[in-house]
Amino acid sequence: MKQNTALATATLHPIQPDQVNPSLLTFCKAFADQLRLDILRVLSRDSFGVLELVQIFESKQSGISHHLKILANAGLVSKRREGNSIFYRRSHTVNAGELSGLQKELYKTVELQQLSPSVEQRLTLIQQSRVEQSQFFFRDNADRFSQHQEQVAAYEMYGVNAGELITSSFQGKDATTGTVVEIGPGEGEFLESLSATFDQVVAVDNSSEMLAKAQGFARSHTLDNIEFILGDTKHPALNELSIDCLVMNMVLHHVPSPAEVIFDIYKVLNTGGQFFVTELCTHDQSWVQGSCGDLWLGFEPEDLGSWATNVGFIEGESVYLAQRNGFRVQIRQFLKL
């Protein structure tokens, strides 16, 4: 009995100051504040600038900057320059070693945390502002969009590769009885390939001007199996469809909340469905924001992969294309199993 008591007492010895893990202290400090937890919750959905976070949380800029610094020191957030602005996002890569399990569990707990209705409302206003910014651009530049887009990545450069990846992925399957949705069909070029592969094609765009151009392309090429919807990934009509394939070509960098769009796509896809996205890799050509209406300067492949796998997708094939103008294009396949 004396031996057991001594053993029990030994396990209660306090940790000496020189034995404390500095990384663990920094890590725990980062999670030990309600506002920082709310910031991590918001940044799990999207990237935001400091001023946007100030508006969302109705907090002073100095306070938000202070909290972001603490989170960054713990490796929980990272920042990225988009033109003249700096955006913060929650880090996808967890800490290596002994803290990785703790970080994963804390992230799961943060995901379960409900934001207050007022924060959700202000978050929605920020996202609506981004949507309007994109819609205004396409309303005023629909006739010149193709010309602007060719300066970055012409359809001829990626269209064939994207089409071949989709066709090869559905070979041996009864794809002619399936339904494919293209979000943001642009001027409609890719609809011809989809129309030949699938029985039903649905084209969705939140710009009436761009949707009209896609409809004109379909008429001129006698594509009679296409339905057109004015809206976005949250349109209720998508929930009524049995969608086997969903495609986004050079669209994601125009949307206000890429991660949320990918989640929307996962929800409407059939089990066994496939999501194909063609996108720019990260670049530093900020002129595209004014000339092409881009909200984001491309995406790291790891970001697209993390957003997709976080909602349940499995990564499939990937194709990367380099251009002489310096822009790199990624064509990605994600599976809903």
Q: Which helix or strand (DSSP H or E) is residue 84 part of?
A: none
Q: What is the pTM of this model?
A: 0.76
- pLDDT above 70: percentage of residues in the chain: 87
Q: Scanning the structure block, which residue is given the tokens 């007492």? A: 9
Facing residues of 78 across strands? 89
Q: Could you report the per-residue pLDDT of 85-132, keeping only the tens digit for each?
A: 888 988 865 555 677 788 888 888 888 889 999 999 999 899 888 888
Residue 316 phi, psi (nearest 5): -115, -130
Tell whether domain 14-115 is in CATH 3.40.50.150: no
Say how far apart CA 280 and CA 323 lie, in whole Å.
Answer: 11
Q: Could you report the per-residue pLDDT of 245-269, keeping only the tens digit for each?
A: 999 999 999 998 999 999 999 999 9
Specify the CATH class of 142-335 in words.
alpha beta
Mean pLDDT for 181-205 is: 96
Listed by start position, the domains of the chain span: 14-115, 142-335
Interior angle at CA 302, CA 52 and CA 76, nearest 5: 50
